[in-house]
Amino acid sequence: MRTPTYHINKFLLILSSTIISLSFITSNVSAKEARYPEFGNGRIPQVLAKASEYMVSSANPYATEAGLRILAKGGSAIDAAITVQMVLNLVEPESSGIGGGAFSLYWDKANKKLTSYDGREKAPMNADGKLFQENGKNMNWWEALAGGRAVGVPGVVAMLEKTHKAYGKLPWADLFEDAITLAEDGFEISPKLGASILNKTNPALGRYEETWEYFFPDGEPIAAGTIQTNPDFAMTLRRIALLGSKGFYKGQIAIDIVDAVNEATDNPGLMTVADMANYEAIERPPVCAMYKAYKVCGMGPPTSGGMTVIQILKLLEDKNLAQYKPLSAESAHLFAQAGKLAYADRGKYMADADFVNVPVEGLIDADYLKERAKLIVDKDMGKAKAGTPPNANANWKDAKSPEQPSTTHFSIIDKEGNGFSMTSSIEMAFGSTVMVRGFLLNNQLTDFSFSEEKDGELVANRVQAGKRPRSSMSPFMVFDKDDNLMMVIGSPGGSRIINYVAKTMLGVLEWNLNIQEAISLPHFVNRNGGTDLEKDTDAAGLKEALEAKGHKVSVRDLNSGLHGIVRTREGLEGGADPRRVGKAQGK
């Protein structure tokens, strides 16, 4: 039972939650290494990483270093990825973990084979199009996000195990050791996590007792620099390490997940133990297209990321972007117009292809996109309308489905040249804020449209039993003319992920930037509305010129988390996003 002190401290925390602290806290505790430079203006210094054998770029130094240890032992890219994800779950719990889902690409160099894996969460079988409706009206999104209603059946563990069975080299159990050790011995709270807790990035953080006790011990938010342990998570990982995915999807862990989802009394869910036991990760064909001399490949449905990034690139293919500076009104204008056209198609046609006839080939058809590109002129086009790609159902309706930016991405190339690109998420920062056995559960079902229909026609991304919600996650790989892996890239950022990834790829392919320069390039994005320019960067200086072209411009924080690797003639080069606390490193 919660004591009066709990309620007093929680009240005081809410009063103080607007205070922002990004300072690095030091002490003499030996485990506290200087991993995180001070944030200063919101960015940390990042330099281009170089290596000759292998490389990892991820959102936290602990995860990068753990992945490198696996590669040094002779592990494959998927071996390292499992370790990286488990460590990220521990040290960056607000962004991803085994309570969420993911999409990934794997490049098997020996066999010149690229495949993709779908570990997206699924709606419970008892869910239907009225899941987020009360009294015939759509729920407020902020009311829907917390508790059990928005929790989809998690997919990360199943996806990683499926990939490991195909391409792993080291024993499954060995890949959990780093995360278990850190969970038991302690890890340093990063400035990003500390600030996310203090500022209650998710307004429901602390609503549920287990989450409150972990992130607010003694009623106070854990500060950056604190050494934190998580013995419950260590026990969970030990069980998964021993039993594989069945230790997660069946038995006591599964029962505890279902109970937590359904017993969130203020917003209960509909999940059953059968939903957990029947979850399957799916190997799917990647979505690829040529961009000039390069082959660019992403993930297909149920994420919209692969198709929409390819659309943006193809819409710009004949615009000669190289003639403009990367940070110029001309580049930003053309990029924004391509974004408008691509997001218009995304909203209407893209959803889970197991439930909806998504015209994948039609959406990336070269002739269709050449015709659409004619709509790009020197003035802003206003709100773009969806086109009619080959084999499309023109009756589908668009309805909004907000996506939040709390996600993570990591890129890996191993010493044999195999590559792995994985974007992983629990959706909103801290997900549903429901914590089970030391990890947070997702709120990914809010990525569905809350409306079943619009103007009498069905919405493609509506809730259906067993369906996977549309995503914007965009793990990508780029190949040269000889089909050699050239780039591994991806980012968090909600529905802006697509913009971040496309712009970074153009930075390398069009503007000859190295991967760190491309990642650090200030953001300009458009999702078929106003054009956003990144606050406190040189991009903000484009506002007047873009407004002269008819853009409605907002200058705002644009917090990506790009992590990428490029293979050059000299070897591997890696970049990490200065907007977060990540690290690219190799040997």
DSSP 45-107: ----EEESS-EEEESSHHHHHHHHHHHHTT--HHHHHHHHHHHHHHHSTTT--TTSEEEEEEE
Work out the pLDDT band at 392, boundaries 50, 70, 90. confident
**Cβ contacts of 212 within 8 Å, gap of 6 or more:** 6, 10, 206
Indicate whether 323 pLDDT > 90: yes
Indicate whether 39 pLDDT > 90: no
Pairing of strands 439-440, 133-134: unpaired
Indicate whether 35 pLDDT > 70: no
Task: Give the pLDDT confidence of 152-170 residue by residue, as tens digits.
Answer: 999 999 999 999 999 999 9
Q: Residue 303's beta-bridge partner residues?
A: 471
**Closest to 261 (Cα-Cα) out of 19, 55, 469, 432:** 432
**Cβ contacts of 178 within 8 Å, gap of 6 or more:** 66, 69, 83, 86, 87
| Contact (Cβ atoms closer than 8 angstroms) between residue 269 and residue 262 | yes
Average pLDDT over residues 162-185: 98
Average pLDDT over residues 388-409: 72
**Closest to 398 (Cα-Cα) out of 349, 467, 340:** 349
**Average pLDDT for the chain:** 91
Predicted pLDDT at 201:
86
Work out the pLDDT band at 142, boundaries 50, 70, 90. confident
Predicted pLDDT at 423:
98
Average pLDDT over residues 413-438: 97
Tokens at 413, concatenated: 């190339």
Work out the pLDDT band at 364, boundaries 50, 70, 90. very high
Task: Give the pLDDT confidence of 457-480 residue by residue, as tens digits.
Answer: 888 899 999 999 999 999 999 999
Work out the pLDDT band at 77, boundaries 50, 70, 90. very high
**Cβ contacts of 518 within 8 Å, gap of 6 or more:** 504, 505, 507, 508, 511, 564, 575
Indicate whether 431 pLDDT > 90: yes
Task: Map tokens 């001309």 to a residue.
Answer: 330
Work out the pLDDT band at 456, boundaries 50, 70, 90. confident
Percent of the chain with pLDDT over 70: 91
How far is 519 from 513, CA to CA, in rounded Å?
9
**Closest to 300 (Cα-Cα) out of 283, 322, 316:** 283
Point out the residues that are catalytic: 407
Predicted pLDDT at 455:
81
Work out the pLDDT band at 26, boundaries 50, 70, 90. very low
Predicted pLDDT at 398:
58
- Superfamily of domain 48-304+350-356+396-523+558-587, CATH level 4: Gamma-glutamyltranspeptidase, small (S) subunit (3.60.20.40)
Q: Give backbone dihedrals phi and psi of 423, rounded to 5 degrees, phi first.
A: -110, 130
Indicate whether 71 pLDDT > 90: yes
Tokens at 171, concatenated: 């024993």
Q: What amino acid is encoded at 510 in this protein? A: E
How far is 237 from 239, CA to CA, in rounded Å?
5
Predicted pLDDT at 3:
36
How far is 572 from 484, CA to CA, in rounded Å?
13
| Contact (Cβ atoms closer than 8 angstroms) between residue 543 and residue 555 | yes
| Contact (Cβ atoms closer than 8 angstroms) between residue 150 and residue 296 | no
**Closest to 308 (Cα-Cα) out of 498, 531, 459:** 498
Indicate whether 397 pLDDT > 70: no
Average pLDDT over residues 48-70: 98
**Closest to 82 (Cα-Cα) out of 20, 174, 19, 16:** 174
How many other CB atoms are there within 10 angstroms of residue 324's CB atom?
17
Predicted pLDDT at 42:
62
**Closest to 220 (Cα-Cα) out of 505, 360, 19:** 19
The residue ranking higher by pLDDT, 220 or 37, is 220
The residue ranking higher by pLDDT, 289 or 20, is 289
Task: Give the pLDDT confidence of 183-210 residue by residue, as tens digits.
Answer: 999 999 999 999 999 988 898 998 999 9
Work out the pLDDT band at 106, boundaries 50, 70, 90. very high
Helix (H, G, I), strand (E, B) or coil at 238: helix
> Cα angle at 32 between 26 and 37, to 5 degrees?
65
Task: Give the pLDDT confidence of 215-234 residue by residue, as tens digits.
Answer: 999 999 999 999 999 999 99
Average pLDDT over residues 98-120: 98
Work out the pLDDT band at 1, boundaries 50, 70, 90. very low
Indicate whether 178 pLDDT > 70: yes
How far is 505 from 508, CA to CA, in rounded Å?
5
| Contact (Cβ atoms closer than 8 angstroms) between residue 467 and residue 440 | no
Predicted pLDDT at 32:
32
Indicate whether 182 pLDDT > 80: yes
Predicted pLDDT at 393:
77
Task: Map tokens 């992403």 to a residue.
Answer: 298
Total residue count of the chain as it appears in this document: 587
Task: Give the pLDDT confidence of 524-551 residue by residue, as tens digits.
Answer: 999 999 999 999 999 999 999 999 999 9
Tokens at 263, concatenated: 């017993």
